[in-house]
Amino acid sequence: MNILKTYKIYIAGQFPRTESGRTYVVNDAAGNPIANVCQSSKKDIRNAVQAARKAFGPWSERSAFNRGQILYRIAEMLGGRKAQFIEELIQQGQTIERAQIEIETSIDRIVYYAGWCDKFQQILSSVNPVNSSHFNFSVAEATGVVGVLADEQTGLLGLVSQLMPVIAGGNTVVFIAAEKSPLCAITFAEVLATSDLPAGVVNIVTGFANEMLPTLAEHMDVNALYLSNASNEIVKSTQLSAVDNLKRVVVVNEDWNQEKAQGIAFISSFQEIKTTWHPIEQIGGATSSY
Amino acid sequence: MKAHKPLFSQIPKSPTIDKVGVEERVSRFQTRSIKGTAKMQGLSMVLSMIDLTTLEGKDTPNKVRQMCYKAQHLHDFQDGLPTVAAVCVYPTMVSIAKDALKDSSIKIASVSTAFPSGQSTFDVKKSDTQFALDAGADEIDMVISRGKFLSGEYNFVFDEIAAIKEICGQKRLKVILETGELANLDQVRRASDIAIHAGADFIKTSTGKIQPAATMQVTYTMLMAIKDHYDRTGIMVGMKPAGGISTSKLALHNLVMVKEILGEAWLTNEWFRFGASSLANDVLMQYMKQVTGKYQSADYFTID
Amino acid sequence: MTDSNNTWEYAPSLEGTSHIQLKEKYDLFIDGKWIKPSNNRYFDTINPATEEKLAEIAWATEDDVDLAVMAARKAYVEVWSVMKASERAKYIFRIARLMQEHAKELALIETLDGGKPIRESRDIDVPLACNHFFYYAGWADKLQDAFPQRNIQSLGVAGQIIPWNFPLLMAAWKIAPALAAGNTVVLKPAESTSLTALKLAEIIEASGLPAGVVNIVTGNGDTGAAIVNHPDVDKIAFTGSTAVGKLIQRAVAGTAKKVSLELGGKSANIVLEDAPIDQAVEGIVNGIFFNQGHVCCAGSRLYVQESIAEEVVRKLKQRMGSLYVGNPLDKNTDIGAINSKEQLNTIEKYINIGINEGSDLFQVECDLPSKGFYCRPTIFTNVAQSSVIAQEEIFGPVLTIQTFRTIDEVIQKANNSPYGLAAGVWTDKGSRIFNLTSKLRAGVIWSNTYNKFDPASPFGGYKESGFGREGGLHGLEAYLK
């Protein structure tokens, strides 16, 4: 007889059970129960946001090179646990071929974003030629705490595709796992926990989106929300909930299996542009240096 | 009211200066629009604040006598004009000027301390000053040792000024910083603070021999030093921009700056002077334009 | 010697208004024509400096907005989106040039309609507005170079709603990038300051820009709402209050409309003890008294390090004494009229709140004109972080001053706000500037300067100050797919 594993949630680098003590059963494609999963509550969202906020300063101020190293480490760790992910993907209804492709694509995508960590700034930033004696430059800075609602279509690749550009850019994340296929999300949390990612940078909760999303979307300490392939209804209600503190709401409709479903645009959506002015003193008057 | 000897160590830390900010501030003074009665009054003030100057190797007694006559008779065709504040000459010309101006209240200022370079011994500088005073100078325009200043020997610069002031006694001492050689506004401010604390009655921008001379940025910086000193001690110090101010417009902008920084108490020739040779006639032409409504020709205004 | 009791007052130096041409009544500029509002209603626009009526302005209804959007759609589909980009550029260049030729008239009208000093409209607003068109004109045929990573496309019809504090400049900030990116425009100026936008419409008409590419509809908040709610608008660009920005966000939720918002602020201006102090004082003045404080990025929260606080406040008070408050048409006026009676009431309300909160008020003693809406430059010392006047946007010449001891403390206090539009930092030490500028959560950081604007410089906020940037390459992003 198989042991029915209980999947816990991932907050502040720990694996607590949900505050509410509730679980729900996740079934395989044939309808057989495969796991018990936490049915997280508003309080878990609160805790996750708190952890993400705490982690934001240090993570965004960490050197970009170092963030790249950590993302690459995540890819390495994921590579070491391919088998487990393939098994879970199959359990949740994938064919073995698709599962293999999904894990390989996921690893590639993490490596791809690992490479971006210390490069996107140069593309998004600029030196601006103003019409006065000032040095003026614009840089990209992380938006802050980003709430991500998982794409229901894919268990792992969607998660990786949504998560990586957000943290590559220096943001921290509260991630609501796909309701029906949350296994990979929690197993991925185990990957994160064993890579060098600091606690709180990514927090993953499982449960029912309609219970958690409004809390996350209304939370005044969340700076942005990220939806992927969500229904119009969810998009609209999320946008309405986001108004009170003017969260940036990013909605994409991508097929994450596509090779082109990646790029700097996914990073820049969670960046703010900061422009700095400073006077330039023309020492010595009118003489040119040429 | 000779107080105790000034001490170098008592000079407060000079504030840093952002030149671009100064340029912006100065451009605001330049957008002030001076019209009508304010312009007439301003022009008349400018005339009364001029130190009419001749400081050339080729100066002769005759040249100085002619300038002294002009100083007393700026434009006799118009009533109510003031005279200039002073004439400014080399020490050897002081006695000539004294004689030429004996019936007037116009002051005689003499440059000293091995003007314009200041590159001589302390003794020479002192006797240079004493000679000018003995010849009848009312005011001394000394130069600071810029070489010493730039090599960081602020103490030396301070002591020189204090010593010359001691020789001057009650006679007013103007200290020329020669800002065109001081490289930047932070240095101008530092030199201003040193001069003020060493006993300068006036601080003055330039000898007129070096460009740039009295730019508004430099004058602004020096006015701020005067202001800070006044706010701290209640003691007024005078200001003399010299060199490069040859138009009425620029002169009026300088007055605007004095008014808005130091206040109207400084708007007299007791506390503000222009060191200039050609400014007077431009001011006179503008003044006559205001009086007559007609644009003027230089042919109708005497050059000396 | 002259008498020592000298006074020297500047005589009034009024800019003449004889050569400006204002119509008695302004209609709506739709599809290249001047059209009467469908309800035939007009409202008065007045000079806030004298309370005299300047002209009557059409009040656009929902039907009128619909007409404008249809015209913009038609122009987008048939003309503007299919025109060669380099041709589009030339039209925008031409508008820029015509604006320059009308610069003096535009400046005068801006001052008459809005109350800002002629020195500012002449030297800042109008030149910046012209330059904005020049800057974006050149982008029109280089968009793909701006974003080589993606296949760029215009959005369609942009609905744009602008505030009353920089009427012409904001119109330029909105229209120029929208046109350069290939969109057509329906723009609504603020109710109290429509005139320069209408003047711009006349310039656009004279430029030969194809009909319907730019439509100007005047009116009040209802007119703005009609634009926001119009189903055929692809993009909403709004500059104004955070409260209205939130209304817009609610209204567009669930639609495909792309939005950029440039909203309120309560920006911190931070003076460290090693600052170039006189320039800092000047920056404080420029930060809060520029345009009567009607500036979203005004440096309205001053933080001064304790060791120099006394000196800074003393110098600030002295400097305020040399500000001229009065007739905006006088070339020597530094601070003109408050834009409207309503705004003056708001400012006065906050001044009273400040007094009741126990903060110490200082105002320059100066005569104010008997007619018109004026407010003396005002500072409050003895203010706490939790004082209402230190938290809420006042949008007037009112500064709150707090002191701090350490850099960590001031970073926390500066960031302790729902807003994040701008900040100022004054220090002589480069490494400190970079520390502060990277830790302040705001979209524009002025170090050793304040309130500088340029077409090439991206502008916009963090947090509740909005999203999207205006100006520079980043400003194109708001008008492209």
The ipTM assigned to this model is: 0.95
Q: Give pLDDT, residue A284.
A: 54
**Domain C268-454: which topology?**
Aldehyde Dehydrogenase; Chain A, domain 2 (3.40.309)
Minimum-distance CB partner of B268 among C4, C275, C322? C4
Check CB contact under 8 Å for B25 and C275.
no
Q: Please give the interface size between A and C, counted as residue pairs whose CB atoms are below 8 Å apart.
A: 108
Cis peptide leading into residue B212 (ω within 30°): yes
Long-range contacts of C16-21 (CB under 8 A, 24+ apart): C17/C108, C17/C112, C17/C329, C19/C105, C20/C105, C20/C108, C20/C109, C20/C112, C21/C105
> pLDDT, tens digit, for every residue of C204-229?
999 999 999 999 999 999 999 999 99
Strand partners, A173: A146, A202
> pLDDT, tens digit, for every residue of A132-173?
999 999 999 999 999 999 998 878 999 999 999 999 999 999
Tokens 């003044």 belong to: B287
Say if A134 falls within a structural domain: yes
Say if B106 falls within a structural domain: yes
Neighbour subunits, A (≥3 Cβ pairs < 8 A): B, C
CA A216 to chain centre: 14
What tokens appear for C46 in the block? Answer: 């007045």
Could you give the percent of chain B with pLDDT greater than 70?
99
Residue range(s) defining the domain that contains residue A98: 5-279
Q: Give pLDDT, residue A2.
A: 67
A232, A277, A281, best to mutate vs chain C, most C CBs in 10 Å: A277
Calculate mean pLDDT across residues B15-25: 95
Residues of chain C contacting residue A132, judged by C-beta atoms under 8 Å apart: 452, 454
Q: Is the pLDDT of residue A20 over 90?
A: yes
What 8-state DSSP symbol labels residue C124? Answer: I
Three-state secondary structure of C281-307: HHHHHHHHHHHHHCCCCCCCEEEEEHH
The per-residue pLDDT of chain B, averaged, comes to 94
Q: What gap in Å lies between CA C158 and CA C355, rounded to an integer?
A: 44
Say if A288 falls within a structural domain: no
Residues near A227 by beta carbon (within 8 Å), at least 6 away in sequence? A149, A234, A235, A238, A249, A250, A251, A252
Q: Give pLDDT, residue C134.
A: 98
How wide is the angle at C-alpha A257 spanned by C-alphas A255 and A262, nearest 5°? 75
CA C451 to chain centre: 11
Residue B25: closest C-alpha in chain C: C282
Q: Give pLDDT, residue A152.
A: 87
Backbone φ and ψ for A288, nearest 5 degrees, come out as: -90, 155
Minimum-distance CB partner of B212 among A134, A281, A285? A285
Residue ranges with strand state E in C147-221: 157-161, 184-188, 214-216
Q: Indicate if C262 belongs to the active site.
A: yes
Domain with CATH 3.40.605.10 in chain C: 25-263+465-479
> pLDDT, tens digit, for every residue of C333-376?
999 999 999 999 999 999 999 999 999 999 998 899 999 999 99
> pLDDT, tens digit, for every residue of C54-102?
999 999 999 999 999 999 999 999 999 999 999 999 999 999 999 999 9
Number of domains in chain B: 1
Domain holding B44: CATH number? 3.20.20.70
Check CB contact under 8 Å for A134 and B20.
yes
Number of domains in chain A: 1
What tokens appear for C349 in the block? Answer: 């309300």
Could you give the percent of chain B with pLDDT greater than 90?
90
Check CB contact under 8 Å for C279 and B42.
no
| Order of strands across the sheet that contains A145-149 | A202-205, A172-176, A145-149, A224-228, A248-252
DSSP annotation string for A66-122: HHHHHHHHHHHHHHTTHHHHHHHHHHTT--HHHHHHHHHHHHHHHHHHHHHTTTHHH
Q: What gap in Å lies between CA C291 and CA B168, rounded to an integer?
A: 51
Long-range contacts of C356-360 (CB under 8 A, 24+ apart): C357/C383, C357/C387, C357/C388, C357/C389, C358/C382, C359/C383, C359/C387, C359/C389, C359/C400
Catalytic residue, candidates C130, C296, C297, C375: C296
Q: Alpha carbon of B285 to those of B44, B80, B294, C2: distances in Å?
A: 12, 15, 10, 21
Would you call C332 an interface residue with chain B, using a CB distance cutoff of 8 Å? yes
- pTM equals 0.94
Residue C426: closest C-alpha in chain B: B18
- Look at residue A230 and give its three-state secondary structure: coil
Check residues C444 and B78 and name the one with the higher pLDDT.
Answer: C444
Would you call C24 an interface residue with chain B, using a CB distance cutoff of 8 Å? no
Say if A271 falls within a structural domain: yes
Domain holding A72: CATH number? 3.40.605.10
Q: Alpha carbon of B207 to those of B70, B106, B131, C367: distances in Å?
A: 22, 21, 20, 43
Give the N- to C-terminal CA distance of chain B in Å, as an integer.
Answer: 39
Residues near C71 by beta carbon (within 8 Å), at least 6 away in sequence? C30, C31, C32, C211, C212, C215
How wide is the angle at C-alpha A45 spanned by C-alphas A43 and A47, nearest 5°? 70
Q: Give pLDDT, residue A1.
A: 60
How wide is the angle at C-alpha C341 spanned by C-alphas C338 and C343, nearest 5°? 60
Say if B6 falls within a structural domain: no
Could you give the percent of chain A with pLDDT greater than 70?
97
Residue C149: closest C-alpha in chain A: A264
Q: What gap in Å lies between CA B240 and CA B176, rounded to an integer?
A: 9
**Domain C25-263+465-479: which topology?**
Aldehyde Dehydrogenase; Chain A, domain 1 (3.40.605)
Calculate mean pLDDT across residues C157-176: 98
The per-residue pLDDT of chain A, averaged, comes to 94
Residue A127: closest C-alpha in chain C: C457
Strand partners, A227: A251
Q: Is the pLDDT of residue C230 over 80?
A: yes
Check CB contact under 8 Å for A279 and B183.
no
The per-residue pLDDT of chain C, averaged, comes to 96
Q: Pairing between strand A134-142 and A126-127?
A: antiparallel
Q: Give pLDDT, residue B183.
A: 85
Q: Indicate if B240 belongs to the active site.
A: yes
Could you give the percent of chain C with pLDDT greater than 70?
99
> pLDDT, tens digit, for every residue of B139-173?
999 999 999 999 999 999 999 999 999 999 999 99
Q: What gap in Å lies between CA A198 and CA A193, rounded to an integer?
A: 8
Q: Please give the interface size between B and C, counted as residue pairs whose CB atoms are below 8 Å apart.
A: 87
Q: Is the pLDDT of residue A289 over 60?
A: no
Minimum-distance CB partner of A133 among B20, B183, B212? B20
> pLDDT, tens digit, for every residue of A270-286?
999 999 999 998 765 54
Residue range(s) defining the domain that contains residue B249: 12-300
Check CB contact under 8 Å for A133 and B184.
no
Domain with CATH 3.40.309.10 in chain C: 268-454
Q: What gap in Å lies between CA C282 and CA B260, rounded to an integer?
A: 13
| pLDDT category of residue B76 using cuts at 50, 70 and 90 | confident
Residue A232: closest C-alpha in chain C: C254
Q: Is the pLDDT of residue C5 over 80?
A: no
Calculate mean pLDDT across residues C444-461: 98
Say if A220 falls within a structural domain: yes
Catalytic residue, candidates B128, B141, B193, B282: B141
Residues of chain B contacting residue C448, judged by C-beta atoms under 8 Å apart: 18, 20-21
| Amino acid type, A4 | L
Residues of chain C contacting residue B251, judged by C-beta atoms under 8 Å apart: none
C230 touches C255 (CB < 8 A) = no
Q: What gap in Å lies between CA C256 and CA C386, rounded to an integer?
A: 39
C259 touches C277 (CB < 8 A) = no
Check residues C1 and A247 and name the one with the higher pLDDT.
Answer: A247
